[in-house]
Amino acid sequence: MENEEFQSNQQQPVTPPTATPVETCDDFQQAPVMKVKDWLIIYLIMIIPIVNIVMLFIWAFDKNINPNKSNWAKASLVWTAIGLILYILFLAAFWSSITDLMQSAAGVSVY
């Protein structure tokens, strides 16, 4: 009896899901590999003051740039922002300690 129920369940027609086109590797465009020469030129540009910051923004947000270079520029901008924030915090702490030291040496009480 169980065998008959099992066979009757298997004979029900199964409707296939709606067919969607399968994406192949050919459908995706891959960015060209950046050569060592390209990276050397990039690092040469990064040596030049002011130009390096401008170029980082151009490379980071231009849609026609190699995605590898764009991601690298975005990461460089993030690290630059983190370094700048840490530098400002360090400078504020240093300035505060120097002014406190100068006031205590002069005998001026702020409190």
Buried b (16+ CB within 10 A) or exposed e, 14-49: eeeeeeeeeeeeeeeeeeeeeeeeeeeebeeeeeee
Q: What angle do CA 32, 76, 59 make, to 5 degrees?
A: 45
For the record, the structure tokens of 75 come out as 């990461």
Q: Structure pTM?
A: 0.64
Encode the chain (111 residues) as per-residue pLDDT tens digits: 556 555 555 666 666 666 566 555 555 678 899 999 999 999 999 999 999 999 999 999 999 999 999 999 999 999 999 999 999 999 999 999 999 888 888 876 655
